[in-house]
Amino acid sequence: MFTYSLTIQLHHTDAYDIIFFANQFRFCHDVYQAWLASVGLPLAKNREKSTHVAVVVHAESDYQAPIELGDQLELRMVTGALGTTSFTLDFTILNQKGIQVGCARIVHVTVDAKTAQKIPLPSALREALEGNRT
C-alpha cells in the first residue's frame, strides 16, 4: 500500500466549499504519479524515452462524505487486478478524523508508445505493482 497526504486548498473546491467532484480523480492521479517516482519509475523521465504508455481505460469514484476546504486527507493506493496488459489501482480516501470520505478505481492498459497497440506490462512496472498489493 502506498500512502499520500494532501490538504484541501481553495482551488480544489466549488462554490459550496466542498471539492469539485472531478478533483477526486486528480488526487488519485497525483498519488499514482508519486508512487511511480517512489518505485524508481518517474513519469516525466520515462515519458521521454519510454516504449510504452499506461493509458486509463476505466475510472469510477464514490463520494462517501463531504471533503471540505482545509481537510487533511490520507490517500491510500493498492494494486487490484493485474492482467497481462492491464492493471487496476484501488484508492481509499480518509479525512483527518479517519473517516473514509471517498474511494476510486482506475484501470490502465499498457500500449506501445508509437503504435498505440496493447502490449504486455513491462517487467519493472509489473514487479512494482505486485509489491503494492497490500
Nearest Cα neighbor of 66 from 117, 24, 112, 37 is 24
What ranges do the domains of the chain cover? 2-130
How far, CA to CA in Å, does 119 sit from each of 50, 68, 114, 122? 13, 41, 11, 8
Question: Which stretches of the chain score pLDDT less than 50?
Answer: none
Query: For the chain, how far is it from start to end, CA to CA, in angstroms?
Result: 5
Cβ-based neighbours of 100, under 8 Å, separated by 6 or more: 64, 65, 92, 93, 94
How far, CA to CA in Å, does 105 sit from each of 24, 45, 126? 11, 25, 18
Give pLDDT, residue 43. 78
What would the CATH number be for the domain defined by 2-130? 3.10.129.10
Give pLDDT, residue 14. 93
Give pLDDT, residue 121. 97
CB 25 within 8 A of CB 91: no
Give pLDDT, residue 52. 87
pTM attached to this predicted model: 0.93
